[in-house]
Amino acid sequence: MTDPTTLGIKTVLHPVADLIRAKAVYTALLGTEPQTEGPYYVGFDVAGQHIGLVPGGGPQGMTSPVAYWHVTDIEARLAAVTAAGATVREPVREVGAGRLVATFTDADGNVLGLIQDQ
């Protein structure tokens, strides 16, 4: 059964050690230059997906890629996954332009993310 409040994985963030080298590899892989570029983040928009490079794992301390599910109600979705046994890693917070994000871990310790655009 498909839940219409979950819009699918549209964003994947990758922690990288060397942003310049990673940018070159992802540019070659994706066949396009980044649409967002700064010292703390490089982002590519390709085929309806956003691929982000986060130096050093960013302030959230990412140690592996994090897939972000886009949802229509982030608070309700976070409550649903925690009621099902997930653990909140980062509570809902705004990251700019009305975008809300949160992360949680599943029962196996995998980190997953949620995004809601206002």
Of 41, 95, 24, 20, the C-alpha closest to 33 is: 24
Of 91, 98, 89, 96, the C-alpha closest to 116 is: 98
Distance (Å, whole) CA 15 – CA 95: 17
pTM: 0.88
- pLDDT tens over the chain, length 118 residues: 455 688 999 999 999 999 999 999 999 999 999 999 999 999 999 999 999 999 999 888 899 999 999 999 999 999 999 999 999 999 999 998 899 999 999 999 999 999 999 8
